[in-house]
Amino acid sequence: MQTFTTIDNIQIAYEVHGDDSAPVILLIMGLGMPSKAWPKHLIESLVQQGFRVVCFDNRDSGKSSKIDKNVGFFSVLNAIARTLLRKPVSGCYSLEDMAADAVAVLDELNIRRAHVMGVSMGAMIAQVMASLYPQRVASLISIMGASGNPRTGLGKIRAIKSLIAKPKGEDVLSMQNYLRKMFKAIGSPGLSYPEDQIKEVARSMVEDGYEQVWSYRQLLAILASGNRNKNLRRVIAPTLVIHGRSDPLLPLAAGEEVARLIPNSRMLTIDRMGHDLQDVMIDQFAPAIARHCHRYKD
């Protein structure tokens, strides 16, 4: 991976796949996960369908900068409680800051406009990017995202607990067990990632010195940005919303609300899909993503 430093002194790590002359899709990963967590099958599918794919590590993940502010477990629980009570939450940074990081990646690569695709927290960052930087977003693909409205975005307790749980060790095997347990709680019913894929992501996280506080700070960024319904109504980018019918972390209602709020968006629901990116699901939605992006290319 290559790195650069933003004007806010945040180091961002990124990598590029595909032909330099092809239309660009910028991928934004979800909570706590490095860009290595993007399934190779998805990246290869998009490259094969004529795109240049840019992946990067969000701040507080992978090889990008880690923010030097401690956040404890009980601070996270308090922030969740305040969100449910419709009270403001303070974070170390916001989704708006993370969207600025994404724009900085485009600037570093001299990319004027890109299709922007995010998953989970990454979908929320992509939504903010489309709202604040409309001139940079050729189209938006929001996968298993939400608007920040706790009425529609509250998932099952078991799924939420899996996100704030800590690995029981710092070695690769412990991280593999942690990832398996998490994806069993939030993933597609009856499906699991191949062991080699789990091991690769676990190894990447261990090499980067993973700490749970990174995820805590990212989660606070989501909660601090609050309900973004009004901002979503201002999105002008052509938008494709993808959501699984079996998502236990962010229910289908959350995706349906995003599609309702963004003017002229299209919704694609996937049967049996949870809060993960299984190859069998990728085969269903990757062609739709390609058609969407080719339709709205510059």
Domains of the chain and CATH, by start: 2-295 (3.40.50.1820)
What is residue 252's predicted lDDT score, i.e. its pLDDT?
A: 97
Q: What is the DSSP letter of 60?
A: T
* Helix 157-164 vs helix 73-84: crossing angle, to nearest 10: 140
What is residue 270's predicted lDDT score, i.e. its pLDDT?
A: 97
Q: Which of 149, 3, 31 is nearest to 95 (CA)?
A: 31
- State if pTM tops 0.75: yes
Q: How do residues 109-125 score in pLDDT, each as one tens digit?
A: 999 999 999 999 999 99
- Is the distance from CB of 81 to CB of 154 less than 8 angstroms? no
* Helix 73-84 vs helix 212-225: crossing angle, to nearest 10: 20
What is residue 24's predicted lDDT score, i.e. its pLDDT?
A: 97
3-class secondary structure, 206: helix
Residues 298 and 293: their CA atoms lie apart, in Å, by: 10
- Is the distance from CB of 296 to CB of 116 less than 8 angstroms? no
What is residue 277's predicted lDDT score, i.e. its pLDDT?
A: 96
What is residue 298's predicted lDDT score, i.e. its pLDDT?
A: 63
All residue ranges of the chain with pLDDT < 50 are none
